[in-house]
Amino acid sequence: MAHSLSHLATAMSISHHDALKHFAVRISRLLMLRRAVQWLTVWCFIWGAITLAVRMAGFHQTYWLGLGIFVALPAIIFAALQARREIPAFAKIRASYDQHNACGGVMMANEAANTDAWFAQLAPASVPDLRWQSARALWLLLVAAGFAATALLLPERLTHLAQRHLEINQIVEQLKAEVQTLTQEKIVDDKKSEDLQKQLAQVEKDSSAYDPNKTWEALDHIKQANSDSAKEAAEEAIKKTESLTQAETLAKAMEMAAENGMEPATAAQAAQDLAALLNAAKLEEGVLNGKIPPELLQNLSSLQGLNQEQMAQLMKALAANKGILSNTMSNLSNLKMIDAAALAKMQAAGEKSKSNCEGLALYLSQCKGGGKCDSDILFSWLKKRSRGGPGGGGPEAPMDWDNDTSEANLKFQEHALPPSSHMNDAQIVGVSKVAPELAKADVSAEHGSLENAAAGGGSAHAQMILPEHRHAVQKFFKRDGK
């Protein structure tokens, strides 16, 4: 383009004065452009750095950073003002023009007087070309603009490296559900529930990829607290369910025994035992408190017992309590707060044994005379867990060491022993059916150094021969000839 202007000036035969002016303007413009590129480059770097810093600081509404592009205009104006100070004096520009056009000082002499008369003898005017090695400056501007654009358009997930949250939403939601379940089931009180909820919210807020261990530890702590509460509740539920099941079994047995003619004294005794059983269960205490109508418990404790209708109410109340506990355990299990073993234990505790019930009913109906109905036996029936064979067997019998089992007419079962492995290499010479013969008298074993040796004599180890063995040893070493 510079060349074309130069040739255009030549072709149009402009005067040296005009060409000089064009040259001065061209120098000014180029210097301004150069400064503008420099300042734009600097601004783009600053703009990009600010944008990046703001976005990394965690600001989300960063669209206003795009307004930085309007700062380019003041930067250009500032560059122009700065370039004005760099523009050489007009005398120097004229000197440069004079030299470029080989004017021989005629143009420079124009500062002292009008030398237009000499212009006819000079070469045609041409505006000198300016060469700006702009590749580096433009490349830097491109890089700076790219940096600024990248800083503006960078995805948010990449700009929040320092403040980046851990992906713990799912875990937090699960823990919140656990806390909510524990609260609903009255396993944790409202205050503790509120504390746990606050802790979860704080952990979620403070969670950072910069230091994930802290977050994980906090989550583990809350999870452990929930798990401990759930396990504690599960153990309590299992115990209470066991008690309720025993009470249910006893009540059912009492109904059956009553139909079989259970004595009133036995019924009263059983009712008292049932009341004692329910009182010992302490249903109303603990985190999972159940409730048995108090008038029923009162009637059970008194001598009058329960009528059939009251017994049905009691059975219904026991079943309802068991149902509540079972639901609680199911909820905890659904959230995996208790393991499968605990749930199975709970289910086992809630199962009534029909055989136990029938056996206990039989026992109750057979208890005659009032005092023969032993509470211990009754409870042992209730605690009996084995299903046993037909009838389920009786209650666990007390250990007795006095009556030995008679061994009369007992015969051990005969078994053929397996052949010895040493017989494999043996050869049968014959089978003797007579008693083995004793060795001849003149044949005696020679024992060398052991002959006449006293026990322990001559050996390193002094073997003590006990009196009970002494005779056998002496008999073994006895020599007929001596």
Partner 1 sequence: MSDTILKPDELAPAAELVRKTLEQLDRILLGRKELHRLVLIGVLSRGHVLLEGLPGLGKTALVRTIGQIMKLDFKRIQFTPDLMPGDVLGSHILQETATGKRELVFQPGPVFTNILLADEINRASPKTQSAMLETMQENSVTLLGTTRPLPQPFFVLASQNPIELEGTYPLPEAQLDRFLFRVMFDNVDADVLTQIISERRRGELPAPTWQMEREQLEMLFATMGKIYLPNPVARYIARLVTATHPGGPEATEPVNKYVSYGASPRAAIAIAEAARGNALVSGRPSVGFEDVKIVAQAVLNHRLILNYQARFDRMTPSKLVGELLAQLDETGLNLPKDVAVAKAN
Residues that bind partner 1 (CB under 8 A): 2, 27, 30-31, 34, 86, 88, 91-96, 98-106, 108-109, 111-115, 117-118, 121, 126, 128-134, 136-137
Who's near 358: CB < 8 A, 6+ residues apart? Answer: 253, 256, 391, 392
Distance, CA of 129 to CA of 23 (rounded, Å): 8
Cβ 83 to partner 1 shortest distance, Å: 10
Judged by beta carbon, residue 135 or residue 443, the one nearer partner 1 is: 135
Cβ 56 to partner 1 shortest distance, Å: 35
Judged by beta carbon, residue 35 or residue 240, the one nearer partner 1 is: 35
Judged by beta carbon, residue 30 or residue 149, the one nearer partner 1 is: 30
Distance, CA of 408 to CA of 404 (rounded, Å): 12
Q: Whose CA is closest to 176, among 158, 203, 143?
A: 203
Cβ 14 to partner 1 shortest distance, Å: 16
Per-residue tokens: 64: 């206003």
The continuous run of DSSP H or E covering 194 comes out as helix 190-206
Cβ 13 to partner 1 shortest distance, Å: 17
Task: Please give the distance of CA 279 from its chain centroid, rounded to a whole number.
Answer: 41
Judged by beta carbon, residue 106 or residue 141, the one nearer partner 1 is: 106
Cβ 112 to partner 1 shortest distance, Å: 5
Are 244 and 224 contacting, i.e. CB atoms less than 8 angstroms apart? no
Distance, CA of 53 to CA of 56 (rounded, Å): 5
Alpha helices in 260-339 (DSSP H): 264-281, 294-301, 308-334
Distance, CA of 355 to CA of 386 (rounded, Å): 10
CA distances 140 to 37, 42, 45, 50, 143, Å, are 9, 9, 10, 18, 5
Judged by beta carbon, residue 99 or residue 333, the one nearer partner 1 is: 99
Cβ 15 to partner 1 shortest distance, Å: 17
Judged by beta carbon, residue 100 or residue 176, the one nearer partner 1 is: 100
Judged by beta carbon, residue 91 or residue 162, the one nearer partner 1 is: 91
User: Which DSSP state fits 425?
Assistant: G
Cβ 48 to partner 1 shortest distance, Å: 24
Backbone angles phi, psi at 259, to 5 degrees: -70, -30
